[in-house]
Structure 1
């Protein structure tokens, strides 16, 4: 660990233990077939329950609670899009019914998916680290690791092992195999029960607005509102730039969004702000790869859905390493080649244009109530 345990995405994410996958179900069915798609979502649902069991045993402070997730619509275009995307995992609830769960302004209804849990991610990773150390595992903090042909170069020392796993996600050297996109978050001061009574979310389900630009939120165990989203620009050449984690314009837009949803937050202070990079492959699918002949393994590309996916990917990789065939080792993304991104500067221009255009599409739909023309143009390019 180059910094300290939990410094990366494992400790700084939005706390969604979700069955969501970066690629839409209908797209997956076209790419890989109905059976492969069904198998994937079955294993994601199983993974959520397994994470809950593990969390209860080794990380009770993570406050794991499985109460689902809500994606709500606040204009006609969002309502139409969400209704069309309803499936066997996502159930449409009209405004009257959904309003009993969450009291958002201009609510038109939304999708409910029971396969999602809420956690404190930092407490989960700390609990896991403490458990592993109690079993004799050594976690070397403050050590910058680089994979080499002979093993791992850790600071100035070469560490050799029969199997070397690269699980550093966006903090790896991406080449053209993935890009780092920054996802930023803010959290409010602890809110009173009177304020939460006017918001809802009694059971601490996760929630988001059905916009094109990604957003996500939760009610924390200590009664804060934590909300995150995209919007920070992609750095040229896929270079990690720490300053982008604190892009003030994105943090401000998240606060504006939260107060637009819930006017009762008008005078509430947002006391915490942070961010980090997630890794996205060109076709938005994760990867799990193991070369038995060299002992080289890698996994990643979770595109912001990493809490459940990183657990599932690790479970797959463990089976591959010990040579055990299982239901998860046959999932469609295992040992598949990674589709490469376009070369620079095309990548820089395209990705940042898509981020900007997604925001424009949301403003267009909020203003007109009609599906965005901009969105229709960019959707085929995103490959989701």
Structure 2
């Protein structure tokens, strides 16, 4: 970064608060008491992020008389569910391109189920009056390099050939800059209906309230410590007690699974974001953005960005930091060198906003798996179900994952459980130090591909053939 650009980026961060913007809200609900003693239930849900909340809510909607308990190690929504960018996508496959590469035969079914799932989220938001700033504005994948423009055109053509282009609009340079004005934009692909914007923490808190209204018993500051068979059910020990349940659904995602054999399938990848102060009317006019879409660029090391209800810009992505040994630690939630880099990239994208300052900066861990999209399974003879590996696209897909877990626990054959995506597993990550070295080489190779017009080296081609990936 040039000295002048670095100085501009540093000044923009001079008053930044190192806390997640979404969680820094006056409407944050108070914590519920921890579990003390032993309790029993029909269904125990472990984890109070989106996976657990959706599973608990859907379980009560399916069977109102079912006794459901949810335990959360900290407070509902404090981790990835309250720190993400607020992109709620219909895609269950981490985008059309990844779905085409991995499940081409069932992609039409996956797209249909994903669209139905997003419709159901919208309906739930309305029915339970979840005040989470839900806006179905869509998302534009923008090209900032010529090869990305070619890739978007090819993806649009392929989607059309498969009958999956409804709502997709290819934009040239003038058309995309008429939507959001950046001198770096060369074109884009606008998915008009497949993505909604929302406030992620307010969604989590709203789901918490909806669960409580339906009779779910929620215990916060109650981590699940271990999982063992107890009679015909399962027991989960907590710091001050135990829950014995007929069935257990694990929504722990990035945190170590209580089913130990699942752990090698995910690694934590730390992602970081900035939030600006509110834009003035003049600054808003300078960037346009009247239709309030989410945006993401087409690089391997990509940025995602969106505008909030109070006219701030969230700017995140690019660096993807894997900690040696896959440890999850609060020490990694902040990375000033990444914040400085992101700020420099922001003003390169929006030079007309020079002088704008950032109010919040934060990071958090994403549960990444080698196929970039969720995987599912059962343990303990079908008494335990899990879903994990959402790889940064879990705001919407976790609801689908909750439905899958409930199907699996019921022993039901449904359209969901018959999917190859649900029946198969990603390749596990190797042990250390191989994982550290492999991920490091992959990150270097992805950066090189960005610099070389998208050309993938032999390492990336080998990873593609093996079905292993690492997404920034």
TM-score normalized with structure 1 length: 0.91
Which residue pairs with 2:17 in the alignment?
Answer: none
Which residue pairs with 2:460 in the alignment?
Answer: 378
Which residue pairs with 1:12 in the alignment?
Answer: 83
In the alignment, the residues of structure 2 paired with residue 39 and residue 292 of structure 1 have an alpha-carbon distance, to the nearest angstrom, of 30
SS in structure 1 opposite 2:131?
helix
In the alignment, the residues of structure 2 paired with residue 360 and residue 241 of structure 1 have an alpha-carbon distance, to the nearest angstrom, of 29
In the alignment, the residues of structure 1 paired with residue 109 and residue 212 of structure 2 have an alpha-carbon distance, to the nearest angstrom, of 34
Shift of the 52–91 alpha-carbon distance from structure 1 to 2, 3 Å rule, reads: same
Shift of 1:281: 1.7
In the alignment, the residues of structure 1 paired with residue 444 and residue 335 of structure 2 have an alpha-carbon distance, to the nearest angstrom, of 15
- 1:72 and 2:142 correspond: yes
Q: Is the 8 A contact 1:95 1:109 kept in 2?
A: yes
Shift of the 227–26 alpha-carbon distance from structure 1 to 2, 3 Å rule, reads: closer
Which residue pairs with 2:6 in the alignment?
Answer: none
Shift of 1:343: 2.2
In the alignment, the residues of structure 2 paired with residue 136 and residue 104 of structure 1 have an alpha-carbon distance, to the nearest angstrom, of 49
In the alignment, the residues of structure 2 paired with residue 357 and residue 8 of structure 1 have an alpha-carbon distance, to the nearest angstrom, of 30
Shift of 1:42: 1.0
Structure 2 counterparts to residues 167-178 of structure 1, below 5 A: 167-173=251-257, 175-178=263-266
Shift of 1:73: 1.2
Q: Is the 8 A contact 1:183 1:277 kept in 2?
A: yes
- 1:105 and 2:183 correspond: yes
In the alignment, the residues of structure 1 paired with residue 309 and residue 169 of structure 2 have an alpha-carbon distance, to the nearest angstrom, of 26
In the alignment, the residues of structure 1 paired with residue 104 and residue 343 of structure 2 have an alpha-carbon distance, to the nearest angstrom, of 41
What is the number of equivalent residue pairs in this alignment?
Answer: 377
Shift of the 372–319 alpha-carbon distance from structure 1 to 2, 3 Å rule, reads: closer
SS in structure 1 opposite 2:189?
strand
Which residue pairs with 2:201 in the alignment?
Answer: 122
Q: Is the 8 A contact 1:68 1:205 kept in 2?
A: yes
Structure 2 counterparts to residues 250-289 of structure 1, below 5 A: 250-289=338-377
- 1:206 and 2:291 correspond: no
Structure 2 counterparts to residues 1-384 of structure 1, below 5 A: 1-22=72-93, 25=96, 28-29=99-100, 31-34=102-105, 36-86=106-156, 87=159, 88-89=164-165, 90-114=168-192, 115-150=194-229, 151-173=235-257, 175-291=263-379, 293-362=381-450, 364-365=451-452, 371-373=453-455, 377-381=459-463, 383=467
In the alignment, the residues of structure 1 paired with residue 461 and residue 80 of structure 2 have an alpha-carbon distance, to the nearest angstrom, of 27
Q: CA offsets, 1:48-68, max 9 Å, x none?
A: 111111112335421111111
In the alignment, the residues of structure 1 paired with residue 220 and residue 283 of structure 2 have an alpha-carbon distance, to the nearest angstrom, of 40
Instruction: Structure 1: state its 5+ residue gaps.
Output: 366-370
Q: Is the 8 A contact 1:178 1:279 kept in 2?
A: yes
Shift of 1:306: 0.5
Report which of the two structures shows the higher radius of gyration computed on alpha carbons: 2
SS in structure 1 opposite 2:441?
helix
TM-score normalized with structure 2 length: 0.75
Q: Is the 8 A contact 2:86 2:200 kept in 1?
A: yes
Q: CA offsets, 1:207-259, max 9 Å, x none?
A: 01111113211101111101211414211121112222211122222222221
In the alignment, the residues of structure 1 paired with residue 151 and residue 441 of structure 2 have an alpha-carbon distance, to the nearest angstrom, of 22
In the alignment, the residues of structure 2 paired with residue 40 and residue 353 of structure 1 have an alpha-carbon distance, to the nearest angstrom, of 32
Shift of 1:45: 1.2
Shift of 1:98: 1.6
Q: Is the 8 A contact 1:231 1:355 kept in 2?
A: no
In the alignment, the residues of structure 2 paired with residue 54 and residue 339 of structure 1 have an alpha-carbon distance, to the nearest angstrom, of 34
SS in structure 2 opposite 1:128?
helix
Q: Is the 8 A contact 1:182 1:230 kept in 2?
A: no
Q: Is the 8 A contact 2:385 2:408 kept in 1?
A: no
Shift of 1:267: 0.6
RMSD after superposition: 2.2
Shift of 1:377: 4.7
In the alignment, the residues of structure 1 paired with residue 134 and residue 266 of structure 2 have an alpha-carbon distance, to the nearest angstrom, of 30
